[in-house]
């Protein structure tokens, strides 16, 4: 299929996990892919090769999404090399889980900076090009815990709830200029991030999911294709839960 043919998608934190799958799935739909991650490593190089072999233009960029100046620089570079920024997927994120009584200031600040400030950084840098184009789709990776909270994840949940407020505000500010902004709230998705959890915790999560399985990165990527493509041309300011029915 070619739902995204001719569009350039920028995906942050895409060297592995959900971001990597989004990059591959969007390339399958014909999008050119500019992706970022913290450093140029084997993961980044192999993804770049895989995407180029699919016949689209693709390039990986080393950049810390939580750094404002670096982000502005990398988005300008992407615009120069690719000619447009049509889809922005703010995917980069980290967890530093611990109970509030043990959470120090540094752990709080780090999660808010990487998960929430990065979304501001990339959206701010990309919107100037989207405004000129009078089109764009911004997709922000929130989480079910940003909607409902979770013990042991006060920092992470707060960052993901912040993303939802940001997403809705941007939808209201930029909608009249043809720019859409939506959030995805994945539930329990099987990636490196969740593999770190002890097995009993993972099994407990799965028991609470009506579809009785963890999600796959492909499940999330499919939602990104919908939100990035013209199939969702009348959808903005929404939070799409991709959670097997968990948040119902």
Question: Which spans of this chain sit near ligand NAI (rule: CB under 6 A)?
Answer: 12-13, 15-19, 36-38, 64-66, 91-94, 114, 118, 141, 143, 186, 188-189, 191-194
CB of 27 to ligand NAI, least distance (A): 17
Q: Label the pairing between strands 32-37 and 58-62.
A: parallel
CB nearer to ligand NAI: give 15 or 51.
Answer: 15
- For the beta carbon of residue 145, count every other beta carbon within 10 angstroms: 23
Q: Round the CA-based radius of gyration of the chain to a whole number and report it.
A: 17
**Structure-token match 């009584």, residue found:** 101
CB nearer to ligand NAI: give 13 or 244.
Answer: 13
CB of 134 to ligand NAI, least distance (A): 28
Residue 93 in contact with residue 114, Cβ under 8 Å?
A: yes
Exposure on the CB side of residue 171, measured as CA atoms within 13 A: 19
CB of 176 to ligand NAI, least distance (A): 28
Residues 6 or more apart from 219 whose CB is under 8 A from it?
186, 189, 242
CB of 6 to ligand NAI, least distance (A): 26
Residue 43 in contact with residue 37, Cβ under 8 Å?
A: yes
CB of 94 to ligand NAI, least distance (A): 5
DSSP string, 126-144: HHHHHHHHT-EEEEEE--H
CB nearer to ligand NAI: give 16 or 57.
Answer: 16
Is 156 known to be catalytic? yes
CB nearer to ligand NAI: give 190 or 235.
Answer: 190
Catalytic residue among 61, 82, 129, 156: 156
CB nearer to ligand NAI: give 8 or 143.
Answer: 143
CA 68/CA 42 separation, integer angstroms: 26
By annotation, the residues acting in catalysis are 156
């Amino acid at each position: 299929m070619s739902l995204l043919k001719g569009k350039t998608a920028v995906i942050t934190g895409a060297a592995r996990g959900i971001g990597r799958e989004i990059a591959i799935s969007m390339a399958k739909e014909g999008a050119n892919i500019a992706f970022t991650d913290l450093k140029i490593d084997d993961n980044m190089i192999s993804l770049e090769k895989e995407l180029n072999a699919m016949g689209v233009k693709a390039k990986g960029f080393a950049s810390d999404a939580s750094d404002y100046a670096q982000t502005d620089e990398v988005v300008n570079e992407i615009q120069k090399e690719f000619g447009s920024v049509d889809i922005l997927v703010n995917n980069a994120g980290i967890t530093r889980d611990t109970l509030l009584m043990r959470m120090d200031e540094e752990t709080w600040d780090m999660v808010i900076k990487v998960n929430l400030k990065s979304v501001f950084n990339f959206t701010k840098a990309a919107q100037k090009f989207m405004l000129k184009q009078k089109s764009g789709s911004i997709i922000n990776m929130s989480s079910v815990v940003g909607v409902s909270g979770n013990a042991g994840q006060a920092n992470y949940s707060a960052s993901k709830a912040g993303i939802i407020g940001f997403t809705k505000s941007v939808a209201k500010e930029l909608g009249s200029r043809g720019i859409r902004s939506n959030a995805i709230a994945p539930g329990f998705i099987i990636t490196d991030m969740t593999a770190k959890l002890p097995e009993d915790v993972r099994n407990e999560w799965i028991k609470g999911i009506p579809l009785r399985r963890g999600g796959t990165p492909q499940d999330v990527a499919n939602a990104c294709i919908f939100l990035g493509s013209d199939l969702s041309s009348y959808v903005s300011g929404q939070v799409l839960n991709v959670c097997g029915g968990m948040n119902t």
